[in-house]
Structure 1
Amino acid sequence: MIENIISLSLRNRFLVLLVAAGLFAWGIYSVRINKIDAIPDLSENQVIVFTEWMGRSPQIIEDQVTYPLVTNLQGLPQVKYVRGTSMFGMSFVYVIFQDATDIYWARERVLERLNYASRLLPEGVAPTLGPDGTGVGHILWYTLDAPGMDLGEQRAIQDWYVKFALQNVQGVSEIASFGGFQKQYQVTVNPNRLTYYGLSTQEVIQSIRANNNEAGGRKFEMSDIGYIIKTNGYLKSIEEIENIPVKTINTIPVKIRDIATVQMTGETRLGIFDLNGEGEVAGGIVVMRYGENADEVIRNVKKKMEEVAKGFPQGMKFNIVYDRSTLIEESISSIKTTLIEEMIVVSLVVIIFLLHWRSAISIIIQIPITLATSFILLNAFGISSNIMSLTGIALAIGVIVDNGIIMSENAYKNLSHRYSELNPETEK
């Protein structure tokens, strides 16, 4: 079969050159569109189910949340195994699928099963899916540099302005906020006063909930003019909460301020984010979506940051503390330099040892064509340009040249033998 291929190629040299030129052009295009990253993504094909039930111990979370979810998610198609982790107030279930499974198909199957499994959980507990990212999806970390600004204000700007803007960038799965304080109204109840007035904590909670509500009215017409009636019932200040009545005793209302203290504070935190030992900061983590081009996503995020920064208060700016694009550029640049050096050295060695320019060119021309063609296969299998893949290509240059040398030497030997048979007098 190999002889037939060689014979066919020799009879159709123009067609072979045309195919080689086409592969080279296709390869150059593949190089331009190939995804770029510093390291290969070797993480498992997983879907994370996160459930929050604050105030409960890890054992209760395990028995009433994690165990029912794990047992119900084990029967999904193409699942390798299911792992569960319980901690104070939170449950994590990791559903690991086969490597060839489409991640979004897997997320749909998990959602379908959660619709049934949610009925087995305690009231008010709602499991949610984690972001469609991978273990190496954290591509950029940033903080908000705002000297003199309260950490609560910084976190509010991050949660209600920066986060929503950056999530619109193509390829971003999630913007995870960290640091600072999440503002909240905190009502600290005095148990002695509750006992004195004959109230319970649940009555206080129900009173606050009932008064933190906005109800719609109706439309009515008067003098050919239409009016829409509505009520503004959302609580907007500490004073409004303090004036909420809980109970009436002898026509005298018992208000929140009579039994509790109201203050604006931050949500209870399990840790802090400190930068370089200089104090706490607030910021976010950019999580890349599964299968995206890390280098391109980082560039788009930085471009979006420039637009977002225009709406910051005076003196606030972004401070990038981790940027994978630096590692990507240095890694790819190093491998590119190595590839060019190898191609030059191999070409010189081939020319020196063969001492025949036509044979040398036929071998050297295979190097760029083969390298360009390899990127066609990288794109076909969804492999990015990273340290591992490009190093493998660099190591294969020697194999490419070896095959070319063997074929050239074999062809030269057979041609010499054939020439000596046809011209015996010249041999003598």
Structure 2
Amino acid sequence: MIEKIISLSLRNRFLVLLVAAGLLAWGVQAVRVNKIDAIPDVSENQVIVFTEWMGRSPQIIEDQVTYPLVTNLQGLPQIKYVRGTSMFGMSFVYVIFQDDTDIYWARERVLERLNYAARLLPEGATPTLGPDGTGVGHILWYTFTAPGMDLGEQRALQDWYVKFGLQTVPGVSEIASFGGFQKQYQVSLIPTKLAYYNLSVQDVIQAVRANNNETGGRKFEMSDIGYIIKTSGYLQSIEEIENIPVKTVNTVPVSIRDVATVQTSGETRLGIFDLNGEGEAVGGIVVMRYGENADEVIGRVKQKMEEVSKGFPEGVKFNVVYDRSQLIEESVSSVKKTLMEEMIVVSLVVLIFLFHWRSAASILIQIPVTLAASFILLNAFDITSNIMSLTGVALAIGVIVDNGIIMAENAYKHLSHRFEELNPEEV
């Protein structure tokens, strides 16, 4: 079979050169569209189910949330195993699928099963799917340089302005906020006054909920003008919360201020984010989607950050604390430099030792054609250009050249023997 291929190639040199040129052109195009990253993604093909039920101990979370979810998610198709983790107020369930399973198909199957499993959970515990990102999806971290703004204002800027702007970037799965304080109204009950007015905690909760909504009315027309009636009851200040009636005692309403104190404060935190030992900071983490080109996504995010920063208060700006594009550029540049050095050295060695330009040319042509064709396979198997894959390509140059030299030497040997057989008197 190999002899037939060699014979066919020798008789059709133009066809062989045409195929090589086609592979080279295809490979160059594959290099242009190949995804670039610094490190290979070897994380598992997983879907994360997150459930928050604040105020409960890890044991309660394990018994009433994590265990029902794990047992109901185990029967999914193409699944490898399910892992669950419980902590104070939170439950994490990791559903690991087979490596060849499409991640979005897997998320659909998990979501279908959650529609049933959610009925087994206690009231207030709602499972949600985590972002469609990988373990190496954190491609950019940023904080704010905001002199004169407190941590609560910075967190509000992040949650209600920056986050929504950056989430629209193609390839971004999530913008995870960190640091600062999330503003909230806190109602601190006084137990003695609750007992005096014969009230329970649930009575106060129901009163606040009932007075924090909007009620729709009806539409009526008068003098050819239509009017829409509605009752707007959303709470917007401490005074409005304090004036909410909870109970009536002898025609006298008992309001929230009679049994509790109301204040604005930050949500209880389990940790802080400190930047370089200079104090607390507020910012976000850009999480990339599965299968995206990290270098291109980072470029789009930076461009969007320039647009978003135009709406900042005076003196506020972004401070990028982690940018994987720098590592990507340095890694790819280093490997490219190594490839060029290898190709130059190999070319010189081949030319000097063979000392025959046609043989040297046939070997040197193999290097760019083979390297370009390797990127076709990288794209076919959805492998990014990273430190590992490009290093493998660099190491393969030696094998390519060795193979070419051996084949050229073998051809010379057989041709010399053939020449001796045909012209013994000249030998």
Distance 2:38 2:335 in 1: 11
Aligned length: 427
Distance 2:105 2:205 in 1: 42
Opposite residue 80 of structure 1, the aligned amino acid is: K
Distance 2:60 2:198 in 1: 31
- CA drift of 1:418 comes to 2.0
User: After superposition, what is the alpha-carbon deviation per residue over 1:293-320, rounded to whole angstroms, capped at 9, x for unaligned?
Assistant: 1111100000000000001111110000
Opposite residue 126 of structure 2, the aligned amino acid is: A
What is aligned with 2:395?
395
What is aligned with 1:419?
419
User: After superposition, what is the alpha-carbon deviation per residue over 1:286-343, rounded to whole angstroms, capped at 9, x for unaligned?
Assistant: 0000111111110000000000000111111000011111111111111110110011
Distance 2:387 2:225 in 1: 72
Distance 1:259 1:118 in 2: 36
Unaligned residue ranges in structure 2 (runs of 5+): none
Distance 1:197 1:69 in 2: 42
Residue 263 of structure 2 aligns to a residue in which SS? Answer: strand
Distance 1:233 1:401 in 2: 79
Residue 215 of structure 1 aligns to a residue in which SS? Answer: strand
What is aligned with 2:334?
334
What is aligned with 2:25?
25
- CA drift of 1:420 comes to 2.6
What is aligned with 1:372?
372
| Farther-moved stretch of structure 1 (2-11 vs 223-232) | 223-232
TM-score, structure 2 normalization: 0.99
Distance 1:118 1:195 in 2: 36
Opposite residue 142 of structure 1, the aligned amino acid is: Y
Residue 401 of structure 1 aligns to a residue in which SS? Answer: helix
What is aligned with 1:167?
167
- CA drift of 1:279 comes to 1.2
Unaligned residue ranges in structure 1 (runs of 5+): none
What is aligned with 1:266?
266
What is aligned with 1:283?
283
TM-score, structure 1 normalization: 0.98
Distance 1:250 1:113 in 2: 53
Q: Is residue 2:178 matched to residue 1:178?
A: yes
Opposite residue 367 of structure 2, the aligned amino acid is: I
Identical aligned pairs, as a percentage?
Answer: 84
What is aligned with 2:234?
234
What is aligned with 2:200?
200
What is aligned with 2:148?
148
What is aligned with 1:409?
409
Residue 185 of structure 1 aligns to a residue in which SS? Answer: strand
User: After superposition, what is the alpha-carbon deviation per residue over 1:356-412, rounded to whole angstroms, capped at 9, x for unaligned?
Assistant: 111011001100110011000000000000000000000010110111111111111
Opposite residue 415 of structure 1, the aligned amino acid is: L
What is aligned with 1:321?
321
Residue 134 of structure 1 aligns to a residue in which SS? Answer: strand
Residue 56 of structure 2 aligns to a residue in which SS? Answer: coil
- CA drift of 1:425 comes to 2.9
Residue 116 of structure 2 aligns to a residue in which SS? Answer: helix
What is aligned with 1:312?
312
Correspondences of 1:24-103 after superposition (within 5 Å): 24-103=24-103
Residue 114 of structure 1 aligns to a residue in which SS? Answer: helix
Residue 124 of structure 1 aligns to a residue in which SS? Answer: coil
Distance 1:200 1:123 in 2: 19
Distance 1:73 1:217 in 2: 44
Opposite residue 272 of structure 2, the aligned amino acid is: I
Distance 1:205 1:118 in 2: 24
Opposite residue 171 of structure 2, the aligned amino acid is: G
Opposite residue 106 of structure 1, the aligned amino acid is: A
Residue 101 of structure 1 aligns to a residue in which SS? Answer: coil
- CA drift of 1:217 comes to 1.2
Opposite residue 395 of structure 1, the aligned amino acid is: L
Residue 333 of structure 2 aligns to a residue in which SS? Answer: helix
What is aligned with 2:127?
127
Distance 1:64 1:257 in 2: 36
- CA drift of 1:83 comes to 0.6
Distance 2:15 2:286 in 1: 49
Residue 135 of structure 1 aligns to a residue in which SS? Answer: strand
User: After superposition, what is the alpha-carbon deviation per residue over 1:104-152, rounded to whole angstroms, capped at 9, x for unaligned?
Assistant: 1111111111111111111221111110101100010001111110211
Distance 2:118 2:184 in 1: 28
User: After superposition, what is the alpha-carbon deviation per residue over 1:77-109, rounded to whole angstroms, capped at 9, x for unaligned?
Assistant: 111111110001111011111111111111111
| Farther-moved stretch of structure 1 (384-393 vs 106-115) | 106-115
Residue 359 of structure 1 aligns to a residue in which SS? Answer: helix
User: After superposition, what is the alpha-carbon deviation per residue over 1:240-280, rounded to whole angstroms, capped at 9, x for unaligned?
Assistant: 11111111111111111111111111111101111111111
User: After superposition, what is the alpha-carbon deviation per residue over 1:13-49, rounded to whole angstroms, capped at 9, x for unaligned?
Assistant: 1111011001001111111111001100010111111
Distance 1:116 1:230 in 2: 37
Opposite residue 325 of structure 1, the aligned amino acid is: S
Superposition CA RMSD, Å? 0.9
